[in-house]
Amino acid sequence: MSNLPKGFEDLAPLVEKWAVPTEKERNWTRVDCNIEELDDFYNIVFPRIDAMLEYLNKRELDNYSEDEKRLLFLAFSLAEVAPSVELFRSPTVPDGFDSKRFLRAHIPHQTPEISPA
C-alpha cells in the first residue's frame, strides 16, 4: 500500500522526512539538512512538480485524502528547499535572520485549514 496517490509511488521514500504538515516543520527540516541532502530532494521532486500540481489542482483542497495531503506537503517542501538549492547553495540564508525564530501567525480566512498551526 502506498502513502501517496497512484502514479507518485516513486516519491514514497521522501514522505517520512519531507511530507510534514506545517511550515515550521518544513523550515526546520531544510535547516537541519546539508546542501547535498537538499540537492537530492530537489533533484527528485523538481522534475515531478508539474505532474504533482496538475494532479492536485483537479481536486478540492478541502476534500484531499491523506495521500493527497502528503503529496501537497512534498510540493510545499520543494518550495521551501528551492531557494536554498537555486540561489543560496546553503540550507540557511547566508547572513540572514535565524528562521527558527519566526513565529507563524494564524489569520482567519487567510490560513488554509489543511495544515495545523
Domain contains 15: yes
**Model-level pTM?**
0.86
- The one-digit pLDDT tens for each residue of the chain (117 residues) are 469 999 999 999 999 999 999 888 999 999 999 999 999 999 999 999 999 999 999 999 989 999 999 999 999 999 999 999 999 999 998 888 777 777 767 677 665 666 554
Residue 32's domain comprises: 9-93
How many domains does the structure of the chain reveal? 1
25 occurs within a structural domain: yes
Q: Does residue 108 belong to any structural domain of this protein?
A: no
pLDDT given at position 11: 98
78-94 burial, b if ≥16 CB within 10 A, otherwise e?
bebbbebbeeeeebeee
Within-domain flag for 49: yes
Distances in whole angstroms, Cα of residue 16 to Cα of each of 21, 58, 74, 91: 11, 25, 10, 19
112: in domain = no
Contact (CB, 8 A) for 81 and 42: yes
Q: Is residue 4 part of a domain?
A: no
Question: In whole angstroms, what is the distance from residue 44 CA to residue 75 CA?
Answer: 11
Task: Answer yes or no: is 101 within a domain.
Answer: no
Residue 58 lies in a domain: yes
